[in-house]
Structure 1
Amino acid sequence: MMQFLNPPVNSLSLHFLTEFAISLEKLKLYRSCRGVIITSTPPKVFSAGLDIYPEHCAEFWKAVQDAWLKLYGSTKVTIATINGSRPAGGCLLALCCDYRIMTDNRHYNIGLNEKQLAGFQLVPEDKVLNTASETMMKWLAVPDHALQINKSMMRKCTIDKLLANREADTTNFVSFFRNNLDVFQRSLTSTGK
């Protein structure tokens, strides 16, 4: 199980995303590890979202791309157990997983209506990890090669598209970010960051 732990609210910083991608890369080496459950250590928040700084926005976006590529392209079974609020980056990482189990708590926000679009299983708060373990066992009943072929067939086109346009994607992000920096700064000021 991989647990988010970037106090106080698991924001996806450049450092955190880099470490996350490295951890996923290391897991590829362990053939005995067939699945990964991603969750949060702090209660009530899965991830507070992206933690972007203007001076590192290009490196930051490349780290987002790396984390996305490693998680979305993983040959392992990936399950997100969402035990708190999850806007922006937290939602992105959850949507990269094969399966998502979310706390059925109206006080936790996901931002838009992704839970209606992306196949989230809602369970009581105290059942999230048990449900994830049970779900993982069902997924692991599928032979590895069948799962890997299926995931590759479904995801290869999307992964290849990002890889082919990675620099343009980064350039577009940096341009958008810098052109809207005043909006981002006002947003950070109003949230007390």
Structure 2
Amino acid sequence: PPAWGRAARQPPGLPLATCRAFSKNKILVEMDERSGTGGGVATMKFKSPPVNSLSLDFLTEFSIGLEKLENNRACRGVILTSAVPKIFSSGLDITEMCGKSTEHYAEFWRAVQEMWLRLYGSNMVTVAAVNGSSPAGGCLIALSCDYRIMVENPKFSIGLNEAQLGIVAPFWFKDTFVNVVGHRVAERSLQLGSLHPAPEAHRFGVVDELVPEEKLQEKAAAVMAQWLALPDHARQLTKSMMRKAVLDRLVAHREEDIQNFISFISKESIQKSLRMYMEMLKKKK
């Protein structure tokens, strides 16, 4: 059961000294369980070079890692950040959507859904420490957190830019975006497939705060301490109340959403544009 009233008794800023680290291949999870911080805080560091793309393996590891933390009663919050320079996450792995079987597309899309359902519906306090560019699915991860802090570098951008690839962002991507920035900003940004440089992202409310790179982890810890100073139970029920309708909508239409994805991604015109995009990326290397 959620802890009642375990208010944190610490100065503003949780020390990030690590007591325990466990890692698989693509995500490093560091756990600070010291009682002085009013409850454990985990840091999930994405380390899947070159760009932390959301492959089936990455998504599976992410969901399992989050579930483990959720089931760990000592853990009250998680900070998401990247161990790869200049990139938070580049979003969905295009290779998972190109030239594969319908069975593979179904398995992949179910994993994308699972990642979002777990993160958006998490009882823990979730803080995104965005230390690089974060297009598409990477942006969705940040949007799904309770709070977003981004490095104030205009070279780093964030947004749901699916329209640029000829792809339509699913309704639950859209719902998450609308809940953060409001209908008008979301509508314009989604139609144009905009990637917002950090200062613009802050102005539009895509991220809550901008900080210098060297202050990012310290700021994330301070924000986490502020959120953990409240009784878990009240905060968790309030979060659930705010997010339940959006979560329920995907849960109710999950299979339909998978079929929509399969029929859309299987179209030759879409496959062609994805192949062209992959060729363009290869030329950039």
Normalising to structure 1: TM-score of the pair?
Answer: 0.96
User: Is residue 192 of structure 2 the alignment partner of residue 102 of structure 1?
Assistant: no
Q: What is the Cα-based RMSD across aligned positions, in Å? A: 1.3
SS in 2 for 1:63: helix
Residue 174 (structure 1) shift = 1.3
Residue 46 (structure 1) shift = 0.4
Q: Deviations over 1:125-180 (max 9, x none)?
A: 11111000000000001100011100110011111110000011111111111111
Which of 156, 162, 170 does residue 258 from structure 2 map onto? 170
Residue aligning to 1:149: 237
Structure 1: runs of 5 or more not aligned: none
1:145 maps to amino acid:
H
User: Is residue 114 of structure 2 the alignment partner of residue 66 of structure 1?
Assistant: yes
Residue 117 (structure 1) shift = 3.7
Residue aligning to 1:39: 81
User: Is residue 272 of structure 2 the alignment partner of residue 182 of structure 1?
Assistant: yes
Residue aligning to 1:10: 52
Which of 30, 53, 69 does residue 72 from structure 2 map onto? 30
2:82 maps to amino acid:
S
Query: Structure 1 runs of 4+ off > 4 angstroms?
Result: none
Query: How far, CA to CA, are the matches of 2:121 and 2:67 in structure 1?
Result: 11
Residue 99 (structure 1) shift = 0.2
Residue 53 (structure 1) shift = 3.1
* Contact 2:92–2:137 under 8 Å retained in 1: yes
Query: How far, CA to CA, are the matches of 2:252 and 2:277 in structure 1?
Result: 33
Larger Rg: 2
**Count of paired positions:** 193
Residue 120 (structure 1) shift = 2.6
Superposition pairs for residues 81-160 of structure 1, below 5 Å?
A: 81-111=129-159, 112=194, 113=196, 115=202, 116-160=204-248
2:241 maps to amino acid:
M
Q: Deviations over 1:36-64 (max 9, x none)?
A: 00000011110112113332222111111
Query: How far, CA to CA, are the matches of 1:143 and 1:31 in structure 2?
Result: 14
Residue 118 (structure 1) shift = 3.0
Query: How far, CA to CA, are the matches of 2:154 and 2:82 in structure 1?
Result: 18
Higher mean C-alpha deviation, range 55-64 or range 73-82: 55-64
Structure 2: runs of 5 or more not aligned: 1-42, 160-193
Query: How far, CA to CA, are the matches of 2:70 and 2:222 in structure 1?
Result: 22
2:271 maps to amino acid:
L
1:53 maps to amino acid:
M
